[in-house]
Amino acid sequence: MRHRVAILGSGVGARHLAGYRALDDRFEVTCICDSDAAAAKALASEAGHPRVVSEIGEALDAADVDIVDICLPPALHVPVSLNALEAGKHVICEKPVAGSVSDAERVAAAATKSDRLFVPVFQYRYGAGFAALIRLKEDGLLGRPLAGTLETHWDRSNDYYANPWRGRWRSELGGAVLGHAVHIHDLATEIVGPVKQVAAMLGTRVNPIETDDCAAVCLAADDGALLTSSVTLGSAGNMSRLRIVFEHATAESGTSAYEPGQWGWRFTARSRKNQKAIDRAVEGVGKVEGGYAGLFKALGAHLDGRGAAPATAEDGVRSIELASSIYQAARTRQVVTLPLDRELPICRSLLPKEHS
């Protein structure tokens, strides 16, 4: 069965389209929606010329759309998600899924009520490298996670912020912590488990914008593993990397900014006698779809009754809660404990007082 998709937004939507085209036996893009007609038509030309519309409502009401893929500016994510779920569509939503914990929970509740899927775009979870790490973990070859480093070092210049919704609290809802590092933080928590405590310092050091573009974050997992996360949008080139030290081995990802779960992973045994067992397990993983194609493949399988959903609305809530805890820690200059008290103002909005 081919699942029919409407892509809303032709910016990052182009990357999503490439993922669907790699799985054209499972997905058909039937609609492209963008207020920029020329951009929508250009993307449609790559997708076999599906219908092009300029109004979101047209896509949500379409009978030939099963899945709405939201690649819009962040401030539109929650209202469009709620409307799509109410229209009976499954929803895929780019990061960030919301600008507050309360809004993320509203979306999760709407997904439950509508009995539709809400899938945050966490494409870092997919690829041969991350699949190998999961295999090693399941085989008991890694042991307990001890400590690790995360790097989200991207290059975002003034040209990037020429787009009027970027770099502004009201339209982008947050800075690099929310819009860029959210992916590697999700991947890290998939590996070491939920975060219990957070300390952070944030800064705006690269571009003349309202939101943060640099961060230094410390994370303590429930089981005691300690992670540091370095974030900047002033790097020479785009690079995301994760290095986790386990009890019996060290895992280091590749550096692809968009698909670090796929390429270039290294697994090094602490004791040389264990290296052969690690190498055999890694070789046994075989070919795995990475990035967006991997995410969409898992979604298609789930819709067909095979396997778990690639990510859930609850995963989206957790990602926003972690980002909120980072902002809370930086603003209060205190160590923050999770789960967050839902009565805290930060759970209602990430916006600082001067922008609220």
Question: What is the Cβ-side half-sphere exposure of residue 119, based on CA atoms within 13 angstroms?
Answer: 26
| Calpha distance 222→132 (Å, rounded) | 23
| Calpha distance 181→323 (Å, rounded) | 9
Cα 73–Cα 21–Cα 97 angle in degrees, nearest 5: 25
SS (H, E, C) the chain: CCEEEEEECCCCHHHHHHHHHCCCCCEEEEEEECCCHHHHHHHHHHCCCCEEECCHHHHHHCCCCCEEEECCCHHHHHHHHHHHHHCCCEEEECCCCCCCHHHHHHHHHHHHHHCCCEEECCHHHCCHHHHHHHHHHHCCCCCCEEEEEEEEEEECCCCHHHCCCCCCHHHHCCCHHHHCCHHHHHHHHHHHCCEEEEEEEEECCCCCCCCCCEEEEEEEECCCCEEEEEEECEEEEEEEEEEEEECCEEEECCCCCCCCCCCCCEEEECCHHHHHHHHHHHHCCCCCCCHHHHHHHHHHHHHCCCCCCCCCHHHHHHHHHHHHHHHHHHHHCCCEECCCCCCCHHHCCCCCHHHC
- Tens of each residue's pLDDT in the chain, 356 residues: 799 999 999 999 999 999 999 999 999 999 999 999 999 999 999 989 999 999 999 999 999 999 999 999 999 999 999 999 999 999 999 999 999 999 999 999 999 999 999 999 999 999 999 999 999 999 999 999 999 999 999 999 999 999 999 999 999 999 999 999 999 999 999 999 999 999 999 999 999 999 999 999 999 999 999 999 999 999 999 999 999 999 999 999 999 888 888 878 999 999 999 999 999 999 999 888 899 999 999 999 999 999 999 999 999 999 999 999 999 999 999 999 999 999 999 999 999 988 87
Strand pairing partners for 268? 250
Please report, in angstroms and rounded to a whole number, the separation of the first and last CA atoms in the chain: 46
- pLDDT number for residue 259: 85
Is 254 in contact with 260 (CB distance < 8 Å)?
Answer: yes
| Calpha distance 45→27 (Å, rounded) | 17
- pLDDT number for residue 354: 86
- pLDDT number for residue 226: 98
Is 182 in contact with 316 (CB distance < 8 Å)?
Answer: no
Give all strands of the β-sheet with 249-252 in edge-to-edge order: 266-269, 249-252, 234-246, 145-155, 226-232, 214-221, 195-203, 336-337
